[in-house]
């Protein structure tokens, strides 16, 4: 697909070094990697992610999503994930873009499009990008060569990308990014609540009361959307934050465990090893050696 090669070329031009690069569009970020990477935790916001070159894998609970050139993912709620680049070289690096959704712009478009929202859907899905979506993304990226044109032409280019998504297979799911009603919206509020309170101890009855659902209904719908129970979701947030604290802030395992809400360092170590495959100290040493 020559248009996809053009997209890759523009990403490479505006992301000349490995890492994440902001752009003249507030909600658009570009990513580049010249080598494969170890699995690293992240939290995806409601967004579009398109891989133009290289390959990566993203795990959400027990599910693994594979991205290849021309494949895109749509996330409709904040979601803790673990991702890794699995195909990249200096000569042919991994190239990717992320476009965060603007709920106001998305809501305005959704009100003009006859979309029938689904009542239950996973928070993330990966699909093949059609020609019309790739063309819209290409027009958006071309504006990066004209920074002065971004304030004038940028909104219409961004709207075209959102329009292609809303009129495609993900339209019924994306409707929920703008909606404050329905089960998916309630699950979204639950995700946000857990994100604010993951360091605290709480029971599912309290969370259910906060968002106006029964505990059994919350448990079922939350698992359908995120592939995890609310408590598993909380645990993953804790472990990912603890890993980041040890890697970036140089905290030891016990200090990181207490910082994210664990009362027992031994329990933290057990759960960390179960989730990441190695004890904390060994895992962090491996990550640092890989970075070096």
Q: What SS3 class is residue 58?
A: strand
CA distance 115 to 106: 12
**What pLDDT sits at residue 267?**
95
Do 2-178 and 182-231 come out as alike in CATH topology? Answer: no
Q: What is the pLDDT of residues 203-223, one digit of tens each?
A: 999 999 998 889 998 888 888
Q: What is the pLDDT of residues 90-133, one digit of tens each?
A: 999 999 999 999 877 887 887 788 766 666 667 888 999 999 99
Closest CA to 144 of 5, 2, 3, 15: 15
CB of 226 closer than 8 Å to CB of 43 = no
111 contact partners, CB below 8 Å, separation of at least 6? none
Q: Does domain 237-291 correspond to CATH entry 1.10.10.60?
A: yes
Superfamily of domain 2-178: Jelly Rolls (2.60.120.10)
Q: What is the pLDDT of residues 251-263, one digit of tens each?
A: 999 999 999 999 9
CA distance 21 to 290: 22
Q: Does domain 182-231 correspond to CATH entry 1.10.10?
A: yes
Other beta carbons within 10 angstroms of residue 12's beta carbon come to 16
Extents of the domains making up the chain = 2-178, 182-231, 237-291
CA distance 168 to 155: 20
């Amino acid at each position: 697909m020559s248009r996809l090669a053009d997209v890759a070329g523009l990403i490479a031009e505006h992301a000349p070094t490995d890492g994440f690069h902001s752009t003249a569009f507030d909600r658009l970020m570009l990513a580049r990697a010249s080598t494969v990477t170890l699995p690293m935790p992240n939290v995806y916001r409601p967004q579009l992610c398109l891989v133009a070159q290289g390959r990566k894998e993203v795990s959400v609970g027990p599910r693994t999503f594979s991205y290849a050139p021309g494949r895109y993912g749509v996330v409709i709620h904040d979601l803790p994930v673990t991702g890794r680049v699995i195909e990249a070289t200096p000569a042919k690096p991994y190239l990717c873009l992320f476009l965060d959704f603007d709920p106001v712009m998305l809501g305005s478009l959704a009100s003009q499009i006859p979309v029938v929202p689904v009542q239950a859907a996973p928070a993330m899905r990966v699909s093949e990008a059609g020609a019309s979506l790739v063309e819209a993304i290409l027009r958006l990226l071309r504006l990066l060569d004209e920074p002065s044109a971004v304030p004038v032409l940028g909104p219409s280019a961004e709207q075209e990308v959102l329009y292609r998504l809303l009129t495609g297979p993900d339209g019924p799911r994306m409707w929920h990014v703008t909606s404050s009603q329905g089960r998916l919206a309630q699950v979204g509020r639950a995700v946000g609540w857990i994100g604010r309170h993951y360091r605290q101890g709480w029971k599912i009855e309290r969370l259910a009361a906060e968002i106006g659902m029964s505990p059994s209904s919350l448990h079922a719908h939350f698992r359908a959307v995120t592939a995890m129970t609310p408590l598993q979701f909380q645990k993953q947030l804790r472990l990912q934050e603890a890993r980041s604290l040890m890697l970036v802030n140089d905290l030891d395992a016990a200090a990181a465990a207490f910082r994210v809400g664990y009362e027992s360092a031994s329990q933290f170590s057990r759960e960390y090893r179960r989730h990441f495959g190695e004890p904390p100290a060994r895992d962090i040493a491996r990550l640092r050696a890989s970075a070096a």
